[in-house]
Each structure stands twice: as C-alpha cells, then as structure tokens.
Amino acid sequence: MSKSSLYQKMNIYLDLATEAHDLLRGESGKEVSGVIMRKEEFKEATVTVITITNNKGEKELGRPKGNYITIDAPAIKENNYQEHKEITKILSQHLARLFDFKENSSILIVGLGNWQATPDALGPKVVEQIMVTRHLFYYTPEEM
C-alpha cells in the first residue's frame, strides 16, 4: 500500500502541499511522480513552490493539478516595516507569475472572512487597505 493510499485510508489530510510532499518523499528523498518542488531562498523568507503536473501527482498529494506556493517568513511576526515590505514584494512577485495581467486589466478582489473572529478577519482587513481606482478611469480617462 502506498503512503498516499494509507493517508487517505486513515483519513489524514495535510493542509500544506509542502507537508504532503515531504511526507511522501520520506527519508529516501525520492521524488514523487508528477510533482515538482522548487525552493527559493531570500534573506527574509524561504519560498517553496510545489507544482502538480499530472493525474498521478494529483492522486499522490490529494490535490488538483496546479501550483502551490508556501512562503515561510519568520520575520512577519516582528514589527519591522522594511522586512514586511520585502516579504510583500516576494509575495507579489509570485502572484504575478500566476496571472497574465495586462496594464489595463480589471481585477476583482474579494475579501472573505469575519470581522468578529480574529483568525478569520484577514480578507476584510486586506480589502479595507485596497485603493479602488476603477471610477477614476471613468471620470478622468485622458489623465490615466
């Protein structure tokens, strides 16, 4: 019985693709078929990108094909504006790689969450910080 089958049978679900990948590789370090792992080291963070490329990879990791990005940034806990800015830059670079935005692309931002529950308030807090500019194109298109 494969490890992925055993985990499914025992109803074990790993939240992060990196955790699932590490467990499946085990101590042998043998690569998981249909899964590519890439690590990038930055001063402020380590970025791990797991790419599931085929059905075998989907089955092994228990996730659909796609890219799974984990940013491990211990400095995010500190009250250091400059480090937060650098971590934000790393995040934005990785998000930009996922999307093919053009200069005049419209973007819909949805901030799901619950203001009253601190662990669930991230979505509303992020949306509160967004400066919506779509109406500016309507009122002053030549300046934009």
Measured in Å, how far apart are the chain's first and last C-alpha atoms? 60
Q: Which amino acid is at 104?
A: N
Average of per-residue pLDDT values in the chain: 79
* Position 14 pLDDT exceeds 70: no
**Is 107 buried (19+), middle (13-18) or exposed (0-12) by CB count in 10 A?**
exposed
Using alpha carbons, select from 67, 70, 23 the residue that is nearest to residue 46: 70
- Kindly indicate the confidence band of residue 13, based on its pLDDT and cuts at 50, 70 and 90: very low
Residue 56: count of CB within 10 angstroms of its CB: 14
More confident residue, 115 or 80: 80
Q: Where are the domains of the chain?
A: 3-99, 104-144
pTM of the model: 0.63
Contact 111, 126 (CB under 8 A): yes
In three-state secondary structure terms, 92 is helix
pLDDT digits (tens, 9 = 90+) for 114-124: 888 887 888 89
Query: Distance between CA atoms of 70 and 88, rounded to whole angstroms?
Result: 13
* Position 96 pLDDT exceeds 80: yes
Contact 16, 22 (CB under 8 A): no
